[in-house]
Structure 1
């Protein structure tokens, strides 16, 4: 394929959440009819077409593919996280990298709210009794007046806070730069007495942060001992933000009321793992990110960036994480 035949946007073949990647390519094509958008549907097509493609989008790409991408200038990652990409290679090559930040806001915000209400009204108790055909009243909780701490105030954390606003809760936000403020009643950093104090008075702890050196193992044995025993953990971040052994010990010792886990460490969770056996643990298979609007929202970002790049290869791109 010559440079003249190269598409303006090349879409790689891997889809997500069982949705055909053709839908993603079509959504981009609808938004930028003036540009050529091509889907590489087979491994051979990917290897051939990426050689001359300046703007490529997909869920992932490996070192071998990048090595073959002689003309690559922009890689538009179709996930919000980019830790799985060969970022060092991209940086060495001067390739701009963007992500899908903001795409997940509504659906993950709703997932978190659902998990909180699940434990507030103790629906898991009702489900257990229903399976037994047992009509017996049980005590529940009330969300109003609770304290909810949201760790990470990016697009997802902000979406969670927006959806909590009508429920009359006190909110604490945790971010790297607390001086920037945020959509919560308080904003604190990740370390020190303020963070420990937040753990001690939190009723619902929502993890919505990226996995970094700071956040890896953030919830360890000491954190669970410090937490309010009536607290519920909701993790839609990454599994290793929580020390799994410490979580199991906390659940066994009643140091926390329960946990809703969309991510685990390890992941997938092995069939014989003890976390499956706790009645006060809700497990979803990394599913909070699913939404039927995923490709539409992602295409809004990617198509706009492709248009900017076509007009000016040095233009600043939305959601640019490199360089």
Structure 2
């Protein structure tokens, strides 16, 4: 039996059902931990998004489990050492939503540079103050990337097409050397990237080393009037320090697609900060990306189970 305890696209679900295996689909099952554990007693596969915490405690309730499929790329909700100890394989949609996230980052930078929504709201309210909404161009500005994996590289390619300079750090030193050279990306240390970035976009995984990477000390090294975009993980940013930097004017603005916790509580301090825009973790949720993720993970899980 395959248990899918969070949302999967209809095409992905259909592919699972066509396998001939029993499929139990309940997109809200992750909310009831005990019910999920009961359902997993006879399961050979579990498919999750980012809400289900897959760890030793959950795996103990699934003695027949062979594979966990992750509908996405972030793996911080999955205890990989626990999977390895239990002999359970992991399949996730590496790089499948990279285009969607890269386009979101470009949209965020354009929003910060041109404020089209603010200008349109001004006109809707009866105004016509052209001088207040001229904005500035991305061309000639420096984009700093922390993390140069699939998403970071695609952001760089798009930014270069806009005439931006791109500096980047990536401790993993992924094998993009030819692409980095072709695109004219300058590889630097993370502190140097922060010192030079007029726009800083985060694409690093959440690890003990990267948690709280953006905090008062590191924000202070960024150019005054710079901008931050985070589509990676909320825990990369110390949120109180970000608020202080925005309110002081050291940062001119920020766009966050990820926060900690998610969803953001109604009275959270991040709400209501004037030059901060928060979206509900949607950077990778284009229709095209979600269709591809659902099908890719369904196929990967079925292949591991030995089902054509």
If the length of structure 1 is used for normalisation, what is the TM-score?
A: 0.79
Residue 287 of structure 2 corresponds to residue 292 of structure 1: yes
Shift of 1:26: 0.8
SS at match of 2:190: helix
Q: Which residue of 2 aligns with 1:222?
A: 217
Give unmatched runs, 5+ long, in structure 1.
1-6, 189-193, 313-323
Question: Quick check: 1:28–1:299 contact (8 Å CA) kept in 2?
Answer: no
Which residue is 1:122 aligned to?
115
Secondary structure of the corresponding residue to residue 257 of structure 1:
strand
Q: Say which SS state the counterpart of residue 81 (structure 2) adopts.
A: helix
Paired residues in the alignment total: 291
2:187 aligns to what?
187
Assess if the C-alpha contact under 8 Å between 1:25 and 1:38 holds in 2.
no
1:36 partnered with 2:20: yes
Match of 2:198 in 1: 203
Q: Is the 8 A contact 2:71 2:294 kept in 1?
A: no
Whether the 8 Å contact between 1:122 and 1:141 is mirrored in structure 2 is no
2:44 corresponding residue in structure 1: 54
How far off is 1:306 after superposition? 4.0
CA 1:95–1:278 in 2, change beyond 3 Å: closer, same or farther? Answer: same
Give deviations 1:36-85, integer Å, cap 9, x for gaps: 34321356996676444434333336555522322222211223122212
Please state if 1:80 is matched with 2:68: no
Please tell me the root mean square deviation across aligned C-alpha atoms, in Å.
2.8
Tell me, yes or no, if the aligned pair for 1:236 and 1:263 is still in contact at 8 Å.
yes
- Partner residue, 1:71: 64
Structure 1 residues 151-191: Cα deviation after superposition (integer angstroms, max 9, x where no partner): 11222222322322311111112211348446351123xxx
**Residues 1-323 of structure 1 mapped to structure 2, 5 A cutoff:** 7=1, 10-15=2-7, 22-28=10-16, 35-41=19-25, 50-59=40-49, 60=52, 62=54, 63=56, 65-137=58-130, 138=132, 139-178=134-173, 180=175, 181=177, 183=180, 185-188=185-188, 194-306=189-301, 308-310=303-305
CA separation of 1:311 and 1:264: change in aligned 2, threshold 3 A: closer
Long gaps (5+) in structure 2: none
Q: 1:172 to 1:36 in 2, by over 3 A?
A: farther
CA distance in 1, matches of 2:220, 2:72: 34
- Identify if the C-alpha distance between structure 1 residues 39 and 21 changes in structure 2 by more than 3 Å, giving closer, same or farther: farther
Report the CA distance between 1:199 and its aligned residue. 1.7
Pairwise CA distance, 1:280: 1.9
Displacement of 1:113 in angstroms is: 0.8
Distance 1:196 1:134 in 2: 43
> Using the alignment, how far apart are the partners of 2:254 and 2:35 within structure 1?
44
Partners of 1:53 and 1:273 lie apart in 2 by: 38
Cα gap change, 1:272 to 1:257, in 2 (>3 Å) = same
